[in-house]
Structure 1
Amino acid sequence: KFLKKKFKILFDRLALLSLLDRNLSIIENVVTVFLILTVGLLGCWILQLGLYKELQVLIFCVVMASSQYSMFKSVQPDAASPIHGYNHIILYSRPLYFISCCSSVLLLHWATLPSQQPLPSFHLYGVNLTSWTLLNTLKEFFLYFLLSFPLLFSLGLLPQVNTFLMYALEQIDIHVFGGNATTSLSSAFYCVLRSCLAVACLCGFAYGGLIDSGGTVAQANTATVEHSSEKVASRTFPGTDGGQYILYSIFCALLLAFSYHLSRSCADYTTLWQLVQRHVFPEELGSAAGLQETTRNRATTAVVKEGD
């Protein structure tokens, strides 16, 4: 009922399911609304900045609308879907790709503003990664990359979002931390998280050792040896002149131990979780094993009855 007029729309269940995708939970509804709003806000922001001209504006609006509509009705089967039939994860691919690319464009646009102070210089393999030319080239690349979304998604050249995240985290773990390959998205998160925790534990000792070597904290290390509650001797250890620093030595020892442990650890966190369950929660592990055994016995009994 709208403005004292009644509208009756005839829809059966099958027609409604063919028109809109069905959300499975309240959390999924909230995530869908959040992604749709984010796509709209970022798209309007880019249009307000005037980064696109003439026909490019129309193509960008089509890309933005397709990213929003895919949350209501996804393309099934999608060209990038690794499975046959309905894939529930693929509907998040377009909005998440759109949000990540638009965020990159806005960040690069802010970094290349004439009024913006120059970013600190950062060189990697002789290349200045914070130069204005490189940042502006990346911004132009992402702008044209956004316009090519319809063609890329039609040909299936972009993987679904969980596969992309898994490969991205895997490459970060390999090239930044020297890790190994991963088996799933949760495994990739686990590997990156444990590498970050190892670096966080080692940073304090490394920073303390470097400050100590600079002589800003301790100019000389004096130790007093007490025996039988009496001060019997006092001697000075080599400090800033001798090149022996206790914190840096601890850092080197922990670095070797952590590196060896991480290199020998399994990328699949379920192995570690089973070990924790066996020693910390043995009751839960026993009940789960009993439930599996009961299910197996029932299945065997049903097969025997059918054979008789």
Structure 2
Amino acid sequence: MVNSTLVTEFFLEVFAETWELRLLLSVLFLLVYLGSLLGNLIIIITTTVDQTLKTPMYFFLRNLSILDMCYISITVPSSCINSLTDYRNISVAGCAAQIFLFLFCACVETLFLAIMAQDRYVAICKPLLYHVIMNHQFCVRMTLASLLSSVVLASVHTFKAFQLSFCHYNVIPQFFCDLPSLLRLSCSDTFNNKLLILLSDIGLGGSCFVFIAISYTRILSTVLKIPIKGERGKAFSTCVPHIVVVSLFLITAAYVYLRPPVETFEVVHEMIISIFYTMIPPFLNPIIYSLRNKQIKKAVRKVTSQFFPYLSIKGTCIHHGTLEKKN
């Protein structure tokens, strides 16, 4: 941190140069942000209130929803406000905090997705051993291990990044403080930082991606042996979206973090790609992991009827009125 005092603050890029386009993109991103908060909040409340949703799967779903609310809140609100107000300044300490929190949440997200893939594999391929393997103690330990390892990894990356000197250009070519974009501004040798990113991506992201792919491959191979076609279609409709969102998250992040330095005219291209690992996963996760689940839908209606009985009564009256008209 001592060597970075030559630059006292950084400047972030905005979504677009024209005010109209900035306004349109900011509103769109805020809608995605609010939709993500609402979807994840519904999952958190439902899995907490409904006593029937106490299996390990819903334990990790609740944790993933809490994490996604934090993950998307690190970048989107401040970026939209900065774009609308044209206030692009961010202090060195603020940039360090944003990088640490973003890397921490991204690492935990990757590990949680891998654990949830294992949970589905055990539930489908080894159902008799499910409560033995995925017991409460194991779930708590895996959660704590994910949090601790992510804190260590994010701390190392942040500490190494802000040991560098920033003495020239201080405009970060990104709408938030992202580590690869920051490293391009340094006038120090960044080889060790890039090597650390490579090892982290291969060790964490690569291993988790392979583990998730193997888990879902085994799940699909097991489901194909089921003679009932409806069950096969249900399994495919569940597993394929999981794989697509995980692949989108990990591949786009790896593309931005591992690619060579880009030219100035490619900055917009990289900003667009970064949306796919900063905004899309927290928005889609509650939909594909939870709100498409019949048990979750039933629990949501049950919780809604408890907290908003008027809506439930009104819905019942409308339903009965429709039946009477049909009769």
Task: Sort the TM-score into its range (normalised by shorter chain).
Answer: under 0.3
The normalised TM-score by structure 1 is 0.27
Which structure: larger Rg? 1
Q: Which has the higher helix share?
A: 2
**Structure with the larger RCO, 1 or 2 (CA within 8 Å, 6+ apart):** 2
